Structure 1
Amino acid sequence: MFNTPLPTVNELPSTRKLLRSTVIAILVAAGLLVTVVMPSEYAIDPTGLGRALGLTQMGELKIILAQEALADTAPPQQAPSAPAPAQQVAQVQPVAKSVAPPVAIPTSALKTNQITVMLKPGEGKEIKLEVLKGRTVSYEWTAVGGPVNYETHGEPYNAKKGYFHSYGKGKQVKDNQGEFTAIFDGTHGWFWRNRSNSDVTISLKATGDYLSVKQ
Protein backbone atom coordinates (compact mmCIF):
# COMPACT_ATOMS: atom_id res chain seq x y z
CA MET A 1 0.00 0.00 0.00
CA PHE A 2 1.32 3.39 -1.03
CA ASN A 3 1.06 6.43 1.19
CA THR A 4 0.79 9.77 -0.56
CA PRO A 5 2.57 12.45 1.44
CA LEU A 6 0.37 15.31 2.55
CA PRO A 7 1.29 18.78 1.25
CA THR A 8 3.10 21.01 3.65
CA VAL A 9 1.73 24.33 4.86
CA ASN A 10 4.08 26.16 2.51
CA GLU A 11 2.74 24.21 -0.50
CA LEU A 12 -0.89 25.11 0.18
CA PRO A 13 -2.25 28.28 -1.51
CA SER A 14 -2.56 31.25 0.78
CA THR A 15 -5.86 32.80 1.75
CA ARG A 16 -5.01 35.81 -0.41
CA LYS A 17 -4.45 33.62 -3.48
CA LEU A 18 -7.70 31.74 -2.88
CA LEU A 19 -9.60 35.00 -2.52
CA ARG A 20 -8.05 36.42 -5.70
CA SER A 21 -8.90 33.24 -7.65
CA THR A 22 -12.49 33.37 -6.39
CA VAL A 23 -12.90 37.03 -7.42
CA ILE A 24 -11.46 36.32 -10.89
CA ALA A 25 -13.82 33.36 -11.35
CA ILE A 26 -16.83 35.49 -10.33
CA LEU A 27 -15.82 38.27 -12.75
CA VAL A 28 -15.36 35.80 -15.64
CA ALA A 29 -18.72 34.17 -14.90
CA ALA A 30 -20.46 37.56 -14.75
CA GLY A 31 -18.84 38.61 -18.03
CA LEU A 32 -20.02 35.42 -19.76
CA LEU A 33 -23.49 35.88 -18.31
CA VAL A 34 -23.82 39.44 -19.67
CA THR A 35 -22.10 38.96 -23.05
CA VAL A 36 -23.11 35.37 -23.96
CA VAL A 37 -25.86 33.79 -21.84
CA MET A 38 -28.27 36.75 -21.57
CA PRO A 39 -28.19 37.67 -25.31
CA SER A 40 -28.38 34.06 -26.60
CA GLU A 41 -31.03 32.83 -24.15
CA TYR A 42 -33.14 35.89 -23.32
CA ALA A 43 -32.32 38.44 -26.10
CA ILE A 44 -31.06 40.84 -23.42
CA ASP A 45 -27.95 42.59 -24.70
CA PRO A 46 -26.84 45.47 -22.41
CA THR A 47 -23.36 45.67 -23.97
CA GLY A 48 -24.28 45.36 -27.67
CA LEU A 49 -21.63 42.66 -28.10
CA GLY A 50 -24.27 39.94 -28.33
CA ARG A 51 -25.90 41.49 -31.43
CA ALA A 52 -22.49 41.96 -33.05
CA LEU A 53 -21.76 38.24 -32.50
CA GLY A 54 -25.24 37.15 -33.63
CA LEU A 55 -26.20 35.89 -30.14
CA THR A 56 -29.02 38.40 -29.58
CA GLN A 57 -30.70 37.33 -32.83
CA MET A 58 -30.50 33.75 -31.55
CA GLY A 59 -32.22 34.79 -28.32
CA GLU A 60 -34.94 36.68 -30.23
CA LEU A 61 -35.56 33.61 -32.37
CA LYS A 62 -35.83 31.40 -29.27
CA ILE A 63 -38.44 33.76 -27.79
CA ILE A 64 -40.43 33.76 -31.04
CA LEU A 65 -40.23 29.96 -31.22
CA ALA A 66 -41.51 29.67 -27.64
CA GLN A 67 -44.37 32.09 -28.31
CA GLU A 68 -45.26 30.31 -31.54
CA ALA A 69 -45.26 26.93 -29.74
CA LEU A 70 -47.64 28.34 -27.09
CA ALA A 71 -49.87 29.69 -29.85
CA ASP A 72 -49.99 26.23 -31.45
CA THR A 73 -51.28 24.67 -28.21
CA ALA A 74 -54.06 27.25 -27.85
CA PRO A 75 -57.50 26.52 -29.40
CA PRO A 76 -57.87 27.97 -32.92
CA GLN A 77 -60.00 30.95 -31.95
CA GLN A 78 -57.81 33.59 -33.52
CA ALA A 79 -60.22 34.89 -36.06
CA PRO A 80 -59.67 38.47 -34.78
CA SER A 81 -56.59 38.80 -37.00
CA ALA A 82 -58.75 41.08 -39.17
CA PRO A 83 -58.85 43.95 -36.63
CA ALA A 84 -55.07 44.39 -36.82
CA PRO A 85 -55.15 45.71 -40.40
CA ALA A 86 -58.08 47.95 -39.45
CA GLN A 87 -56.01 49.55 -36.70
CA GLN A 88 -53.15 50.04 -39.11
CA VAL A 89 -55.35 51.80 -41.60
CA ALA A 90 -56.39 54.16 -38.83
CA GLN A 91 -52.73 54.85 -38.08
CA VAL A 92 -51.53 55.29 -41.66
CA GLN A 93 -53.26 58.61 -42.30
CA PRO A 94 -51.94 60.48 -39.23
CA VAL A 95 -48.39 59.26 -39.85
CA ALA A 96 -48.48 60.22 -43.52
CA LYS A 97 -49.72 63.72 -42.63
CA SER A 98 -46.97 64.27 -40.04
CA VAL A 99 -44.08 62.92 -42.13
CA ALA A 100 -44.91 64.11 -45.65
CA PRO A 101 -44.98 67.93 -45.13
CA PRO A 102 -41.53 68.39 -43.52
CA VAL A 103 -39.60 65.88 -45.64
CA ALA A 104 -40.86 64.52 -48.93
CA ILE A 105 -39.59 60.95 -49.16
CA PRO A 106 -37.78 60.56 -52.49
CA THR A 107 -38.62 57.66 -54.75
CA SER A 108 -35.07 56.38 -54.37
CA ALA A 109 -35.73 55.72 -50.65
CA LEU A 110 -38.04 52.85 -51.56
CA LYS A 111 -36.43 49.42 -51.73
CA THR A 112 -37.55 46.09 -53.15
CA ASN A 113 -36.11 42.75 -52.09
CA GLN A 114 -37.00 39.24 -53.18
CA ILE A 115 -35.86 36.62 -50.66
CA THR A 116 -36.23 32.84 -50.59
CA VAL A 117 -35.88 30.59 -47.54
CA MET A 118 -36.27 26.82 -47.23
CA LEU A 119 -37.92 25.22 -44.21
CA LYS A 120 -37.33 21.60 -43.30
CA PRO A 121 -40.11 19.69 -41.49
CA GLY A 122 -40.64 21.27 -38.06
CA GLU A 123 -38.23 24.12 -38.79
CA GLY A 124 -38.95 27.81 -38.16
CA LYS A 125 -37.22 30.83 -39.73
CA GLU A 126 -37.73 34.58 -39.86
CA ILE A 127 -36.85 37.54 -42.06
CA LYS A 128 -36.75 41.03 -40.56
CA LEU A 129 -36.51 44.52 -42.02
CA GLU A 130 -35.14 47.52 -40.14
CA VAL A 131 -37.98 50.06 -40.40
CA LEU A 132 -38.35 53.47 -38.79
CA LYS A 133 -41.58 54.58 -37.13
CA GLY A 134 -44.24 55.71 -39.60
CA ARG A 135 -42.67 54.04 -42.64
CA THR A 136 -44.77 51.58 -44.64
CA VAL A 137 -43.79 48.26 -46.21
CA SER A 138 -45.93 46.23 -48.62
CA TYR A 139 -45.27 42.52 -49.06
CA GLU A 140 -46.41 39.25 -50.54
CA TRP A 141 -45.13 35.73 -49.95
CA THR A 142 -45.97 32.21 -51.09
CA ALA A 143 -45.17 28.78 -49.64
CA VAL A 144 -44.30 26.04 -52.14
CA GLY A 145 -44.42 22.46 -50.84
CA GLY A 146 -47.15 22.88 -48.23
CA PRO A 147 -48.89 25.34 -45.89
CA VAL A 148 -47.08 27.02 -42.97
CA ASN A 149 -47.87 28.81 -39.73
CA TYR A 150 -46.80 32.46 -39.78
CA GLU A 151 -46.78 35.70 -37.83
CA THR A 152 -46.02 39.24 -39.01
CA HIS A 153 -44.60 41.18 -36.06
CA GLY A 154 -42.05 43.73 -34.92
CA GLU A 155 -39.79 44.48 -31.97
CA PRO A 156 -38.45 47.95 -31.08
CA TYR A 157 -34.73 48.47 -30.65
CA ASN A 158 -33.65 47.49 -27.11
CA ALA A 159 -37.07 45.99 -26.41
CA LYS A 160 -37.84 44.43 -23.06
CA LYS A 161 -37.70 40.65 -22.91
CA GLY A 162 -40.67 39.07 -24.69
CA TYR A 163 -42.14 42.35 -25.97
CA PHE A 164 -43.31 42.49 -29.58
CA HIS A 165 -46.20 43.85 -31.65
CA SER A 166 -48.15 41.47 -33.90
CA TYR A 167 -49.50 42.78 -37.20
CA GLY A 168 -51.21 39.49 -38.03
CA LYS A 169 -50.78 35.70 -38.01
CA GLY A 170 -52.30 32.51 -39.35
CA LYS A 171 -52.07 28.72 -39.41
CA GLN A 172 -51.71 26.37 -42.36
CA VAL A 173 -51.48 29.20 -44.90
CA LYS A 174 -49.96 28.93 -48.38
CA ASP A 175 -49.63 32.65 -49.14
CA ASN A 176 -50.24 36.09 -47.71
CA GLN A 177 -49.95 39.69 -48.82
CA GLY A 178 -50.59 43.14 -47.40
CA GLU A 179 -48.73 46.04 -45.84
CA PHE A 180 -47.83 47.35 -42.41
CA THR A 181 -46.80 50.72 -41.01
CA ALA A 182 -44.12 50.56 -38.32
CA ILE A 183 -45.42 51.83 -34.98
CA PHE A 184 -41.86 52.19 -33.61
CA ASP A 185 -38.24 52.18 -34.75
CA GLY A 186 -37.02 48.60 -34.84
CA THR A 187 -37.10 45.31 -36.73
CA HIS A 188 -40.33 44.24 -38.41
CA GLY A 189 -40.97 41.14 -40.46
CA TRP A 190 -42.18 37.58 -40.68
CA PHE A 191 -41.74 34.25 -38.90
CA TRP A 192 -42.72 30.96 -40.53
CA ARG A 193 -42.98 27.45 -39.11
CA ASN A 194 -43.23 24.31 -41.25
CA ARG A 195 -45.50 21.81 -39.52
CA SER A 196 -45.64 19.42 -42.50
CA ASN A 197 -43.53 16.34 -43.24
CA SER A 198 -41.91 17.77 -46.37
CA ASP A 199 -39.63 20.69 -47.23
CA VAL A 200 -41.32 24.04 -47.88
CA THR A 201 -39.84 27.00 -49.77
CA ILE A 202 -40.94 30.54 -48.87
CA SER A 203 -40.63 33.24 -51.54
CA LEU A 204 -40.99 36.78 -50.15
CA LYS A 205 -41.16 40.10 -52.01
CA ALA A 206 -41.01 43.23 -49.85
CA THR A 207 -41.25 46.81 -51.08
CA GLY A 208 -41.10 49.94 -48.95
CA ASP A 209 -39.05 52.50 -47.07
CA TYR A 210 -36.81 50.36 -44.87
CA LEU A 211 -33.13 50.49 -43.94
CA SER A 212 -31.87 46.94 -44.33
CA VAL A 213 -32.79 43.24 -44.39
CA LYS A 214 -31.88 40.91 -41.54
CA GLN A 215 -32.10 37.16 -42.03
Structure 2
Amino acid sequence: MYNTDMPSRADLPSTAKLISSTIISAVVALVLLVTVVMPAEYAMDPTGVGRLLGLTEMGEIKQQLAEEAAADEAAQLAAVPAVTEERAPEPAAPMQQVASTPEPQIEPATAAPAPAAAAEPEWTDEVRFVLTPGEGTEFKLTMEEGAVASFHWVSEGGPVNFDTHGDGSGQSISYEKGRGVAEDEGELTAAFTGNHGWFFRNRNNDDVTMVLRTRGNYGELKRAM
Protein backbone atom coordinates (compact mmCIF):
# COMPACT_ATOMS: atom_id res chain seq x y z
CA MET A 1 0.00 0.00 0.00
CA TYR A 2 1.08 3.57 -0.70
CA ASN A 3 1.43 5.60 2.56
CA THR A 4 3.93 8.42 2.08
CA ASP A 5 6.83 9.49 -0.04
CA MET A 6 10.24 8.33 1.02
CA PRO A 7 12.50 11.31 1.82
CA SER A 8 15.23 11.96 -0.63
CA ARG A 9 18.89 12.02 0.36
CA ALA A 10 18.87 15.81 0.03
CA ASP A 11 16.04 16.08 2.61
CA LEU A 12 17.94 14.10 5.24
CA PRO A 13 20.09 16.11 7.76
CA SER A 14 23.77 15.95 7.15
CA THR A 15 26.24 14.38 9.57
CA ALA A 16 27.56 17.84 10.47
CA LYS A 17 24.05 19.04 11.38
CA LEU A 18 23.46 15.98 13.53
CA ILE A 19 26.75 16.51 15.37
CA SER A 20 26.00 20.22 15.80
CA SER A 21 22.52 19.49 17.19
CA THR A 22 23.93 16.90 19.58
CA ILE A 23 26.57 19.32 20.89
CA ILE A 24 24.00 22.12 21.36
CA SER A 25 21.67 19.76 23.25
CA ALA A 26 24.50 18.60 25.49
CA VAL A 27 25.53 22.21 26.27
CA VAL A 28 21.93 23.21 27.11
CA ALA A 29 21.54 20.14 29.35
CA LEU A 30 24.82 20.95 31.13
CA VAL A 31 23.76 24.58 31.69
CA LEU A 32 20.41 23.49 33.13
CA LEU A 33 22.16 20.93 35.34
CA VAL A 34 24.55 23.51 36.82
CA THR A 35 22.13 26.45 37.14
CA VAL A 36 18.84 24.69 38.01
CA VAL A 37 19.09 21.01 38.97
CA MET A 38 22.16 21.16 41.22
CA PRO A 39 21.01 24.20 43.27
CA ALA A 40 17.38 22.99 43.59
CA GLU A 41 18.16 19.35 44.44
CA TYR A 42 21.59 19.36 46.12
CA ALA A 43 22.11 23.01 47.26
CA MET A 44 25.21 23.17 45.04
CA ASP A 45 25.46 26.53 43.26
CA PRO A 46 28.87 27.01 41.59
CA THR A 47 27.61 29.85 39.35
CA GLY A 48 25.45 31.78 41.85
CA VAL A 49 22.46 31.73 39.48
CA GLY A 50 20.58 29.30 41.70
CA ARG A 51 20.82 31.72 44.64
CA LEU A 52 19.46 34.55 42.51
CA LEU A 53 16.54 32.37 41.39
CA GLY A 54 15.80 31.17 44.92
CA LEU A 55 16.61 27.55 44.02
CA THR A 56 19.61 27.09 46.33
CA GLU A 57 17.54 27.68 49.47
CA MET A 58 15.08 25.07 48.20
CA GLY A 59 17.95 22.61 47.81
CA GLU A 60 19.24 23.41 51.32
CA ILE A 61 15.83 22.62 52.80
CA LYS A 62 15.67 19.35 50.82
CA GLN A 63 19.12 18.35 52.08
CA GLN A 64 18.10 19.26 55.65
CA LEU A 65 14.98 17.08 55.39
CA ALA A 66 16.99 14.19 53.96
CA GLU A 67 19.57 14.42 56.77
CA GLU A 68 16.83 14.53 59.41
CA ALA A 69 15.09 11.48 57.90
CA ALA A 70 18.36 9.52 57.83
CA ALA A 71 19.14 10.51 61.42
CA ASP A 72 15.64 9.48 62.55
CA GLU A 73 16.07 6.06 60.90
CA ALA A 74 19.51 5.60 62.49
CA ALA A 75 18.14 6.57 65.91
CA GLN A 76 15.33 4.02 65.62
CA LEU A 77 17.77 1.23 64.68
CA ALA A 78 20.06 2.16 67.57
CA ALA A 79 17.24 2.25 70.15
CA VAL A 80 17.80 -1.26 71.58
CA PRO A 81 16.75 -1.65 75.24
CA ALA A 82 19.68 -2.32 77.51
CA VAL A 83 19.51 -5.48 79.66
CA THR A 84 20.62 -4.87 83.22
CA GLU A 85 22.11 -7.72 85.21
CA GLU A 86 20.53 -8.30 88.60
CA ARG A 87 23.02 -8.54 91.41
CA ALA A 88 22.44 -10.27 94.73
CA PRO A 89 22.56 -7.92 97.68
CA GLU A 90 25.82 -8.07 99.57
CA PRO A 91 25.62 -9.11 103.24
CA ALA A 92 25.75 -6.21 105.62
CA ALA A 93 28.99 -5.89 107.54
CA PRO A 94 28.69 -6.31 111.31
CA MET A 95 28.44 -3.03 113.13
CA GLN A 96 31.33 -2.14 115.41
CA GLN A 97 31.15 -0.07 118.52
CA VAL A 98 33.04 3.16 117.96
CA ALA A 99 33.93 5.30 120.88
CA SER A 100 32.36 8.70 120.48
CA THR A 101 34.68 11.67 120.67
CA PRO A 102 33.53 15.20 121.32
CA GLU A 103 33.30 17.26 118.15
CA PRO A 104 35.64 20.25 118.09
CA GLN A 105 34.04 23.66 118.20
CA ILE A 106 34.63 25.54 114.96
CA GLU A 107 34.32 29.26 114.87
CA PRO A 108 32.22 30.41 111.90
CA ALA A 109 34.35 32.08 109.26
CA THR A 110 33.39 35.49 108.05
CA ALA A 111 32.57 35.20 104.37
CA ALA A 112 34.05 37.79 102.08
CA PRO A 113 31.48 39.82 100.20
CA ALA A 114 30.91 38.50 96.68
CA PRO A 115 31.91 40.87 93.89
CA ALA A 116 29.02 42.53 92.16
CA ALA A 117 28.19 40.77 88.88
CA ALA A 118 28.47 42.82 85.75
CA ALA A 119 25.11 43.62 84.27
CA GLU A 120 24.38 41.77 81.01
CA PRO A 121 23.66 44.09 78.07
CA GLU A 122 20.10 44.09 76.81
CA TRP A 123 19.09 42.11 73.71
CA THR A 124 18.73 44.13 70.52
CA ASP A 125 16.06 41.88 68.97
CA GLU A 126 13.66 39.32 70.39
CA VAL A 127 11.17 37.26 68.35
CA ARG A 128 8.59 34.74 69.52
CA PHE A 129 6.93 32.31 67.10
CA VAL A 130 5.06 29.00 67.11
CA LEU A 131 6.03 25.87 65.15
CA THR A 132 3.34 23.27 64.51
CA PRO A 133 4.27 19.55 64.36
CA GLY A 134 6.64 18.99 61.42
CA GLU A 135 6.93 22.71 60.63
CA GLY A 136 10.28 24.40 60.02
CA THR A 137 11.35 28.02 59.67
CA GLU A 138 14.52 30.08 59.29
CA PHE A 139 15.82 33.32 60.83
CA LYS A 140 18.92 35.08 59.47
CA LEU A 141 21.18 37.99 60.53
CA THR A 142 22.71 40.19 57.82
CA MET A 143 26.41 40.33 58.77
CA GLU A 144 29.74 41.50 57.41
CA GLU A 145 32.70 39.12 57.35
CA GLY A 146 34.23 38.78 60.84
CA ALA A 147 31.24 40.38 62.61
CA VAL A 148 30.17 38.76 65.91
CA ALA A 149 26.61 38.40 67.23
CA SER A 150 25.47 36.93 70.56
CA PHE A 151 22.32 34.82 70.66
CA HIS A 152 20.06 32.85 72.98
CA TRP A 153 17.08 30.75 71.93
CA VAL A 154 14.76 28.48 73.87
CA SER A 155 12.01 26.07 72.82
CA GLU A 156 8.94 25.98 75.06
CA GLY A 157 6.84 22.83 74.77
CA GLY A 158 9.49 20.41 73.52
CA PRO A 159 12.99 20.24 71.99
CA VAL A 160 13.65 21.04 68.32
CA ASN A 161 16.16 20.23 65.58
CA PHE A 162 18.32 23.12 64.41
CA ASP A 163 20.98 23.98 61.84
CA THR A 164 23.13 27.10 62.30
CA HIS A 165 24.46 28.08 58.88
CA GLY A 166 25.23 30.96 56.53
CA ASP A 167 25.11 31.88 52.85
CA GLY A 168 26.06 34.78 50.63
CA SER A 169 28.74 36.01 48.23
CA GLY A 170 28.38 32.69 46.38
CA GLN A 171 29.36 30.74 49.51
CA SER A 172 27.60 28.63 52.13
CA ILE A 173 28.66 27.16 55.49
CA SER A 174 27.18 25.04 58.29
CA TYR A 175 28.36 26.11 61.76
CA GLU A 176 26.47 23.65 63.99
CA LYS A 177 23.61 21.14 63.92
CA GLY A 178 21.56 19.67 66.75
CA ARG A 179 18.69 17.24 67.31
CA GLY A 180 16.26 17.32 70.20
CA VAL A 181 17.70 20.51 71.73
CA ALA A 182 15.57 22.69 74.03
CA GLU A 183 17.93 25.68 74.43
CA ASP A 184 21.18 27.10 73.09
CA GLU A 185 23.25 30.26 73.45
CA GLY A 186 26.62 31.58 72.37
CA GLU A 187 28.28 33.75 69.73
CA LEU A 188 28.03 33.57 65.94
CA THR A 189 31.02 34.85 63.93
CA ALA A 190 30.34 35.47 60.24
CA ALA A 191 32.75 33.54 58.02
CA PHE A 192 31.91 35.84 55.09
CA THR A 193 29.57 38.69 54.23
CA GLY A 194 26.00 37.45 53.87
CA ASN A 195 23.10 35.99 55.85
CA HIS A 196 23.86 33.89 58.93
CA GLY A 197 21.38 32.29 61.32
CA TRP A 198 19.26 29.29 62.25
CA PHE A 199 16.85 26.80 60.72
CA PHE A 200 14.45 25.29 63.29
CA ARG A 201 12.14 22.27 62.86
CA ASN A 202 9.54 20.90 65.28
CA ARG A 203 9.58 17.08 65.33
CA ASN A 204 7.19 16.86 68.31
CA ASN A 205 3.52 15.86 68.21
CA ASP A 206 2.47 19.22 69.71
CA ASP A 207 3.10 22.88 68.96
CA VAL A 208 6.24 24.48 70.40
CA THR A 209 6.87 28.17 71.08
CA MET A 210 10.31 29.48 70.12
CA VAL A 211 11.94 32.57 71.63
CA LEU A 212 15.04 33.92 69.83
CA ARG A 213 17.11 36.83 71.21
CA THR A 214 20.11 38.46 69.48
CA ARG A 215 22.52 41.34 69.92
CA GLY A 216 25.85 42.36 68.46
CA ASN A 217 27.32 43.55 65.18
CA TYR A 218 24.71 42.83 62.50
CA GLY A 219 22.35 44.73 60.23
CA GLU A 220 18.94 43.17 60.85
CA LEU A 221 17.22 40.00 61.98
CA LYS A 222 14.82 38.71 59.33
CA ARG A 223 12.68 35.63 58.79
CA ALA A 224 13.48 33.81 55.56
CA MET A 225 10.45 33.05 53.40
Pairwise TM-score range, normalised by the shorter structure: 0.5 to 0.7
Q: Aligned pair in 2 of structure 1 residues 31, 118: CA closer, same or farther (>3 Å)?
A: farther
Aligned to 1:10: 10
Note the alpha carbon deviations across 1:170-197, whole angstroms, 9 max, x for none: 4163xx2522232633643222222234
Q: Helix, strand or coil for the counterpart of 1:180?
A: strand
Aligned-pair Cα RMSD in Å:
3.4
Aligned to 2:189: 182
Aligned to 1:150: 161
Q: Which residue identity is paired with 2:178?
A: K
* Structure 2 Cα separation of the partners of residues 183 and 193 of structure 1: 23
Aligned to 1:30: 30
Q: Aligned pair in 2 of structure 1 residues 64, 112: CA closer, same or farther (>3 Å)?
A: farther
Aligned to 1:193: 201
Please say if residues 42 and 63 of structure 1, whose CA atoms lie closer than 8 Å, have aligned partners that are also in contact. Answer: yes
Structure 1: give runs of 5+ residues left out of the alignment. 78-106
Please say if residues 148 and 192 of structure 1, whose CA atoms lie closer than 8 Å, have aligned partners that are also in contact. Answer: no
- The structure carrying a bigger helix percent of its residues is 1
Please say if residues 147 and 218 of structure 2, whose CA atoms lie closer than 8 Å, have aligned partners that are also in contact. Answer: no
Match of 1:136 among 149, 153, 158: 149
Tell which structure's C-alpha radius of gyration is larger: 2
Match of 1:165 among 170, 175, 179: 175
Q: Aligned pair in 2 of structure 1 residues 30, 118: CA closer, same or farther (>3 Å)?
A: farther
Aligned to 1:103: none
Aligned to 1:99: none
- Following superposition, the deviation at residue 31 of structure 1 comes to 0.8
Q: Which residue identity is paired with 1:192?
A: F
Q: Helix, strand or coil for the counterpart of 1:207?
A: strand
Identity %: 41
* Structure 1 Cα separation of the partners of residues 190 and 73 of structure 2: 29
How many residues in Structure 1 have an aligned counterpart in Structure 2?
A: 177
Aligned to 1:124: 136
Q: Which residue identity is paired with 2:188?
A: T
More off after superposition, 6-15 vs 118-127:
118-127
Q: Aligned pair in 2 of structure 1 residues 73, 199: CA closer, same or farther (>3 Å)?
A: same
Note the alpha carbon deviations across 1:102-132, whole angstroms, 9 max, x for none: xxxxx9xx98344455544323332232443
* Structure 2 Cα separation of the partners of residues 202 and 169 of structure 1: 15
* Structure 2 Cα separation of the partners of residues 147 and 111 of structure 1: 24
* Structure 1 Cα separation of the partners of residues 155 and 204 of structure 2: 15
Structure 2: give runs of 5+ residues left out of the alignment. 79-120
Q: Helix, strand or coil for the counterpart of 1:164?
A: strand
Q: Aligned pair in 2 of structure 1 residues 201, 10: CA closer, same or farther (>3 Å)?
A: farther
